[in-house]
A = this chain, B = another copy of it.
Amino acid sequence: MSGAIKMLEGGTVTSPQGFLAGATYAGLKTYAEDKLDLALITSEAPCVAAGVFTTSTIKSATVTVNREHLAKGPVRGLVVNAGIANTCVGEQGYKDAQEMTVLAGQRTGLTSDEVLVCSTGVIGVELPMSLIRSGIDQIQLSSDGGHAVARAMMTTDTRTKEVAVSFELEGHPVHIGGVAKGSGMIHPNMATMLAFVTTDAKVEADFLQTTLAEVAGASFNMLTVDGDTSTNDTLLVLANGLAGNQTIDANSPDAGTFREALSQVCIHLTRELARDGEGASRLIIVEVAGARDRDDARKAARTVASSNLVKSAVNGADPNWGRVMMALGRSGAAADETKIDLFVNGVCIMEAGSPIPFHRDAVVSQMRGPEVTFRLQLNLGDGEAIAWGCDLTEEYVIINSAYTT
């Protein structure tokens, strides 16, 4: 029997048993107020691990290194820096990513193959390895260090993204924790987004990879801030098995509970990422129901959530629903205009393709709140999806007009 899934107050990536973490300021960030930029996570026991990576053809060397290390077997550590992406720097990128795993291994008593590595920040600049060498030695690991990792990962993020849940499996308390960063260059498949999930659940490797990909498809891959997919996007999960439950695989009675808990963690982080999109003043939620199939629903939801015109309208608290229809129309999802119902924050604006009179002032004032939800019922099939995004603001343009200068 599985118990209920509970959110842990102050939960983070070190909430699961046996994970330690810490961070330091190595000098890689020059533009952020938050002065941590290099972090480590380690596990007291070897971890079954899985990952989902950017689909971009131009990739950070860290992606290559992580794929190699995941293929070699269990891992026990992860090193991450912010400030510099280690991308588009030629062969030096791979050497430096490898060296980071060597340095992190030396610091924590692991082989380099047991360490994963992530970088985020400016593209086209080499990592100052001397700063990283001296920085890694300064990191103090603790069982409360997840908060420091969350801070160290931030680039233009204005706040940390952290979460943990707990549930019981056969009487054993089990935890899943996560941290994420990402604010701009965020779009499905995947965002300039780094997300690290830890769990003390005992999980079979193939099941973990399959479940992670499924969960990412309905969470991080339904997130869009600006339509730009990064070169470095990485979602990693480490499962050290210390909870003592029986190993979960696809046929376990507990598979559903684990998937649901992982999903809650990933969706929580996704919402927090969307809410903190660069310059964002409010969260946009696009719910699509009645699409021909799930792929169509996802396409439609993502396209509406990523439309600059929809995002600008939300910024102005303007119920300009014609733009939602425009974005739906160009999404590639099957749609029959005469069947579509559209709701803005629960208020029906269009029914069976015809606009219906609504109290404009009431809708505008609702749209001034922290969340705006568009619900599109296509009434064609049973495909459903939710996408998360944020409004487009003058602040976004200001932030991104002078990032490297």
Where the two chains meet, the residues of A that have a C-beta atom closer than 8 Å to any C-beta of B are: 54-59, 85, 87-90, 122-125, 184-185, 187, 189, 226-231, 306-309, 312-313, 315-316, 318-323, 325-330, 333-335, 337-338, 350, 353-355, 364, 392-394, 396-405
Contact = CB atoms under 8 A, between A and B. Distances in A.
21 contacts: A57-B328, A57-B329, A58-B325, A58-B335, A87-B322, A88-B322, A88-B337, A89-B354, A122-B322, A123-B325, A124-B325, A125-B355, A185-B323, A187-B330, A189-B330, A227-B227, A228-B327, A231-B325, A316-B401, A316-B405, A322-B404
Contact of A404 (B59, B308, B320): B320
Indicate the member of A316, A321, A398 with the most B CB atoms within 10 Å: A316
A397 B123 contact: no
A325 to B, nearest CB: 5
B229 A326 contact: yes
Per assembly, the copies of the chain total 2
Contacts of A123: 322-323, 325-326
Contacts of A322: 85, 87-88, 122-124, 404
A355 to B, nearest CB: 5
A229 B402 contact: no
Nearest to A307: B228
A323 B228 contact: yes
Contacts of A318: 401-405
B355 A313 contact: no
